[in-house]
Structure 1
Amino acid sequence: MDGTQFARSAPGDVAHAPSPPLVIIVDDDPLVRASLDSLFRSVGFVTRLHANAREALDMGTGDQLACVVTDVRMPEVGGFEFQSALNASGADLPVIFMTGHGDIPMSVRAMKAGAVDFLSKPFRDQDMLDAVNLAFERARADRAAHQGSADARARYDLLTPRERQVMDGVVRGLLNKQIAHELGIAEITVKLHRSSVMRKLGLRRVPDLVRLADQLSST
């Protein structure tokens, strides 16, 4: 799988109207693909069918909410290797594994790899739908968290170097006079910078500033 990238659409290609959630089905059995295609379309999902993982990796999802339903055992590239390639490409799509030859060690491996669920064939339609709905919930939460981090970074980038120094002192719990002594500036100047920091970041309380700093440090 070296060098394989999961294609992404350019920002200008994103449609204005949100698209229905997309389920990417990857299975070498055409009967399984057809059955899942019918099931997901019956509840309003959009589907994309692939007979192998390499084919799926060559296509992107743009800004569309998506998840992957894949068989574990497939020729050439198996489900676990497929998931690793997705993660390496930065696609970060929630994955649901299915197999006709499942065992406990395999299911444990799937869940440790971050799978939403591991279903043994034959499975109930409702179990598959429940798993896919959970995958979309997870995808929405991840997208919201990512957007929140991006917004926080954009606001932080508005701060001047001195304002960032003052912010760092506040986050460390220093008093204004301590920050002033550390930076070699007047205490009134620290107060002005501190006020500007809170205004630019859209915050009112120091605990909120600390949480935002933690959020920035984890990205």
Structure 2
Amino acid sequence: MPLSLTGVILVVEDDDSMRQAIQRLLNAAGFKTEAYASSEALLADGRAAFAACVVSDYKLPGISGLELLTALRTRGHWPPVVLVTAHDSIEVRNEAMRRGASGYLAKPFRSRDLLDAIELAVQGRSPP
């Protein structure tokens, strides 16, 4: 049963096929989504202020997912942010959590893991 959200999940991923796959998964689970190929595109759009959650790749050209998280907070936007990465390391994971990421997943991840991370993030709970 999908989590009920009163907002849109924003997906930031520079890889077209991964961005489309995440968006299809979330839409199939009953979520409304908007997708962006870069952090800059999301920041220019202004929807982050009203997002239920942001799912962002960590390694992006230009502003990284971690820098996006910081930029959102600096602008006064506090949606939960779930970072996903193919460049997993304990240092990256710890820095993401230190900066306030609500969730962190290493690629490849299972669909259920992303849905669970979003649910935990919007409920304000930390991952186990």
Which TM-score band applies after superposition, normalised by the shorter structure? 0.7 to 0.9
Aligned to 2:14: 28
**Identity, % of aligned pairs?**
35
The offset of 1:136, in angstroms, is 1.6
1:125 aligns with 2:111: yes
Deviations 1:142-199 (A, max 9, x none): xxxxxxxxxxxxxxxxxxxxxxxxxxxxxxxxxxxxxxxxxxxxxxxxxxxxxxxxxx
Greater relative CO (CA pairs within 8 A, separation 6+): 2
Larger radius of gyration: 1
Aligned to 2:65: 79
Instruction: Name whichever structure is richer in helix by fraction.
Output: 1
Tell me if structure 1 keeps the 8 A contact 2:23–2:33: yes
TM-score, length of structure 2 as denominator length: 0.87
Tell me if structure 1 keeps the 8 A contact 2:84–2:106: yes
Q: Identify which of 83, 86, 91 aligns with 1:105.
A: 91
- C-alpha distance in 2 between matches for 1:107 and 1:49: 23
Aligned to 1:43: 29
The offset of 1:60, in angstroms, is 2.8
Instruction: Name whichever structure is richer in strand by fraction.
Output: 2
The residue matched to 1:138 in structure 2 has which SS? coil
Gap runs ≥5 in structure 2: none
The offset of 1:73, in angstroms, is 0.6
AA in 2 matched with 1:30: D
Gap runs ≥5 in structure 1: 1-18, 140-219
- C-alpha distance in 2 between matches for 1:57 and 1:86: 8
- C-alpha distance in 1 between matches for 2:119 and 2:90: 24
| Length, aligned pairs only | 121
Tell me if structure 2 keeps the 8 A contact 1:65–1:136: no
- C-alpha distance in 2 between matches for 1:77 and 1:62: 15
